[in-house]
Structures are given as C-alpha cells and as structure tokens.
Structure 1
Amino acid sequence: MNGPFHIQKTLNNNAVVASNASSQELIIIGKGIGFGKKIGDVITDDAIDKLYILTNEKEQEQYKTLVHSLDESFIELLNDVITHIEGRMQTTLNEHIHVALTDHVAFAVKRLEQGMDIRNPFLSETQTLYPKEYTVAEEVIEQINQSLGIHLPEGEIGFVALHIHSAVTNKSLSDINEHSRLINRLAAIIEESLSIKLDHKSINYLRLVRHLRHTIERMEMGEQVDKQEKLAKVLKEEYPLCYNLAWKLIKVMQNTLNKPIPEAEAVYLTMHLQRLT
C-alpha cells in the first residue's frame, strides 16, 4: 500500500485526501476513514479496512466535486455497491468506476425525482453481450432501490452493466456504447433484409449477437481466423441471400470501425444468419 498515509484534507467521514511515503496526493475511500481525523493525522496500512486510491488527478478533482455535492450516505452506499461489484466480478476494477458510476446513479436518481425517464435502446443487447455484468447490475439496482426507497427503471440495469464491463475490461464507455449501437444497427439490417422480426430471447439470436461481438473484438485486436474456401463456396451456392447479407454486415462493420475483416468471417456469419431463417 506504500503507507503510512498522512491526511491532507477530510472530504467526509468516508473519504480523505492524503499523501503517501512518495509524497503522492491521493484519495482514500473507506468506511469511517475520515471520522474525527485532522490534517497531518496518520492512517497506517493495518488501520485500513478497505480503500480505493484514485491516482488520476482529473478523476480526483471530479470525485472531490461529487463528494461535496452529494449526501454522505449516498457516497457510502455507492462505495458499498462498488465493493459488491468487485467481489462478484472477482477482479480489480478500474478506479474510474468511482467517478463514473457514482455520477451516473446520482443523475439517474435525480431524473427519477423529476419524473424523467431515459429509455435504454440497447437493453437486450447488453444482457446478451454481458450476462455476468448484467446479473451483477440487477443486484446493484436492487441494492440501490432498497437503500433509497425508490424504483429505478429496468433500463438502468443495462447502463450499470456497461459501467461494470468498462471497469472490468479497462475499455472506455464510449467504445462499449459504440459496439452496442453497431450491433443494434446490424440487427435492424438483418430484420429488414430477411423480412423477419428477431426474437431477442431466442437461442439463435443470442448466438448471433455474441458472434457479432466476438467478430468486432477480433477486428479490434487484429486477430485472423482460418480460411474456409470450400465451405464459403458451398454456402454461397446454397444460401446466397444469407451469404450476401453477411458481406453487407461485414462492410458496415468495416466502415464503422475502420478496420479490415478477414473473408472467412463471412462464412461463420452466414451460418448464424441461416439459423435465423
């Protein structure tokens, strides 16, 4: 932990600004960590039950602003929520979640109080793409609802799931949202091209969306898949509609992400499309 830590400023009972042995300024968050403390007081490693260190200066300032603008019990609730997420996901979360999730939930509660509801257009895609994060997000929303005596809309589960995925993978929320929008767009193209209505609860839709996600991830990583020339020829002759649609979807992905896709991807995508028909 690189302690001992010397308190520079108490933000509230559960958050302090401190410096460590290397004279780094950081924020330590933990239950009762600032209670009765004064500037210069020492917090030793063995006295810390749970802490998060926000080392990014910009996020430090954002969090300080949040702490001053929100009720202390709300900050404590979100700290408990993040501890729960970390335990359930069994991994260290990117520290940005303290700022991003706290700010998001605070805004969601405010919208609820004002009678505003923001629809989540990617709810089913999020549940399909990130089932573990979605399950934990359901627990988080239930915890928040019970603690605050409110009822956040179902769409908030999807938003929280994306924050969790962002913190677990260290991917930016904007990139994750871009992928969700892209998959949503691809699904709309499939429905229009095949003149069908996709059942978002079906196993074939589940497989399709997960395949699209893995295709996008392979593109981002520059990974190659084995060529399937013989199978490609068969599929092109047997299922020309699905084969051509697969290439149409690939072109959309290429143009959106500005990255090439190996030809073999069309083979696997054709098979998923054929299942839908």
Structure 2
Amino acid sequence: MKQILTIEKVLNNNVVIAVHDTYKEVVLIGKGIGFNTNKGDPISFDKADKTFLLKDEKEKEQYVNLLPHIEENLIIFIHELLLFVEEQMGKELNEHIHVALTDHLAFAINRAKKDMQFSNPFIYEIEALYPKEYQVAKGVVKKVEDWMDIAFPDGEIGFIALHIHSAVSDKSLRDINRYNLLISQLVEIIEKNLTIQLKKDDVDYHRLIQHLHRAIDRAHQGQAIGEENKLEELLKNEYPVCYNLAWKLIKVMQNQLNKPVDEAEVLYLTIHLQRLINKS
C-alpha cells in the first residue's frame, strides 16, 4: 500500500514539505517533485528520491530559509553527495547534515567562485583523527570540483570531514571543534615544554593526536583504562620529564572538560611523549 502524505509547503521544484500522521512533517526531495503542485495536494512517498524528518524546529526553519538562496540543481546534487557519503561510510547519517552541509557547500562554492582562499589550521589533526571521513570528504570535494568546474582549497576537505564525522557520530560540531581546540592546546604545551617542533605529517604525531582524542573521549564518557602500578614506577624513574608533562596535560584536560580524567592515561601519554623526544 502506498503511503500518501499531504503537501504542506512547496519549497521549490525539487523539495516539498509534507505532513504525515505518524512522522508529522517530512521533507521530500526529488527531481521535479514540487513542479505544478500546491499546498493540500496529496503526494506519495514513492515520488521522492530521499525523505528525511527535521524534528528540530530550529533546523527546519534554517533549512526552509536556506533553500531560496540555493540553485535548485545544487540541492539535488547535494542530495546525491549525501547518498554517496552514506554509502562510503556504511552508516546512516544524522538528519542535521542536510542543513549543515547544504549551508556549508553553498558558501564554499561561492567562495571558490570569487577565488577567496582561506586555510584550515586543523587539517593534519582532522586527517589523523578521522581518516575515513577525510577520505570520503576528498571524494565529495572532487565531485563538487568536477561538477562546478571550480577549485576548492585543501582546507575544505577538513571542514567537510568534520561535517561527516558529526553526522555519523551524532556529536555536535560545537563539541567536535571544542575537542579539536583542546587537542591543539595540548600540542602547544608539549612543544613548549619539550622545546621541539612536532612534524604534523609524522606517524608518531598522528598516534599522539589519536591518543589524546581517545583520552578526551574516555573522560567524557567516564571510562577508566585500569591501573598499571609497576609500569608507573618504571616510567616515572626512566622518563621523569615526559611523566611530569603527561600529568600537566591531564590537568589541562580536566580543567577544560570539567570532568575527571583516569590517572592511568598518564602512562600512555608518557610513552607517546618519549617516542616524540626519541625522534627529535
């Protein structure tokens, strides 16, 4: 049996908002779906290539306000990009990416057309933290560049990767950016205390970043990693500089996250830091 909805609002030729008894308001996207239709007309779910719910009132308002400023072909194209991302990530995306990525890409395309270049200071960290999202974002950028015949700066890959990560992890971009800022603050403290310049494309730097990220995640979720008393004594005596610095980093994390960080993290951080010293 076909599920029939009632059109609530025609946003453009390719996007309509319809009302459904169970889901309330549903956004339907499909080529020509809104052409020659009016409020109150019946419409079938089958007509749409993609349907999604925007349960959040604020996001729905954002999406409705955003669409009039975007070419209709671009909306269909972004919808295809989202299907590509979903397929590559092998996960369903949180609905908020429709608003966030549509908004982001519309501005990014605009900037590229005007040849406005800007950098992304976290590009190496993003690649280290979210390698899969980064690769998929590369594919998205390539598709946009080919379709629009424009060139994106490399920094865009990082920004799109963050949007993808936000959509597959259900974390807000605000939290993700907060964690990334904390990580770069910790890296700064490490460089200052050990008087070294870390090579951002180095495998040990990637490992350190991933470890810091996991430590923040564990603290956020209140997870412990267990105790290793003998190892602690050994590291404390063998590598006092790194051991003390590791404690300093833990204290910064605790202050910034306003949550306790498991003391066993010190051991793993000490090992990562010593590795960096040996390299330099």
Q: TM-score, normalised by structure 2?
A: 0.93
* Poorly superposed stretches of 4+, deviation over 3 Å: 45-49
Percent same amino acid at aligned positions? 50
SS at match of 2:255: helix
- C-alpha deviation, 1:262, in angstroms: 1.6
Q: Give the match's secondary structure for 1:43.
A: strand
Structure 2 distance, partners of 1:103, 1:44, is 28
107-116 vs 53-62, which moves further: 107-116
Q: Which residues of structure 2 form unaligned runs of 5+?
A: none
Find the counterpart in structure 2 of residue 242 from structure 1: 242
Where 1:260 maps in the other structure, the secondary structure is: coil
What is the aligned partner in structure 1 of residue 216 from structure 2?
216
Q: Deviations over 1:177-225 (max 9, x none)?
A: 0111111121122122112221222221111111111100000000011
| 1:91 to partner: Cα distance | 1.2
What residue in structure 2 maps to residue 107 of structure 1?
A: 107
Contact 1:10–1:37 (Cα < 8 Å) also in 2: yes
Match for residue 225 of structure 2? 225
Structure 1 residue 176 displacement after superposition? 0.2
SS at match of 1:252: helix
Q: Quick one: distance in 1 between partners of 2:124 and 2:23? A: 47
Q: Is the 8 A contact 2:112 2:152 kept in 1?
A: yes
State the AA in 2 paired with 1:123.
I
CA contact (8 A) 1:133 1:161 kept: yes
Aligned to 2:152: 152
| CA distance in 1 between partners of 2:13 and 2:90 (Å) | 27
Cα distance in 1 for residues equivalent to 2:265 and 2:169: 24
Of 155-164 and 72-81, deviating more is: 72-81
Distance across 2 between alignment mates of 1:256 and 1:167: 24
Matched residue SS, 1:5: strand
CA distance in 1, matches of 2:164, 2:134: 9
Check conservation: 1:3, 1:21, Cα contact below 8 A.
no
Deviation, structure 1 residue 30: 2.7
Aligned to 2:267: 267
Describe the SS at the equivalent of 2:50.
coil
Alignment: residue pair count: 277
| Aligned twin of 1:54 | 54
Is residue 23–residue 53 contact of structure 2 (8 Å, CA) maintained in 1?
Answer: no
Spell out the pairing of 1:53-72 with structure 2 (5 A cutoff): 53-72=53-72
Instruction: Determine the structure 1 residue equivalent to 2:196.
Output: 196
- Aligned pairs (5 A) from 1:113-128: 113-128=113-128
Q: Cα RMSD between the aligned structures? A: 1.8
Whole-angstrom distance in 2 between the partners of 1:7 and 1:261: 51
Could you tell me how far 1:23 is from its partner in structure 2?
7.7
Query: Residue in 1 aligned with 2:45?
Result: 45
Bigger mean CA offset, 249-258 vs 43-52: 43-52
Taking the aligned partners of 1:23 and 1:70, their CA distance within structure 2 comes to: 27
Q: Residue 122 of structure 1: CA displacement?
A: 0.4
**SS at the partner of 2:51?**
coil
The one-letter code matched in structure 2 to 1:87 is E
The 1-side partners of 2:197 and 2:2 are apart by: 57
State the distance in 2 between where 1:240 and 1:30 align. 62
Cα deviation, 1:18-71, whole Å, max 9, x if unaligned, reads: 111248233222333223333333222344333222232221111111111111
- 1:2/1:21 contact within 8 Å kept: no
Report how far residue 2 of structure 1 moved. Answer: 9.7
Match runs of 1:88-107 below 5 Å: 88-107=88-107
Residues 246 and 270, structure 1, Cα contact 8 Å, conserved in 2:
yes
Q: How far apart are the structure 2 equivalents of 1:119 and 1:243?
A: 34
Shift of 1:74: 1.4
From the superposition, tell whether residues 4 and 212 of structure 1 become closer, same or farther in structure 2 (CA, over 3 Å). Answer: same
Q: Which moved more, 1:26-35 or 1:76-85?
A: 26-35
Query: Mind listing any 5+ residue stretches in structure 1 that lack a counterpart?
Result: none
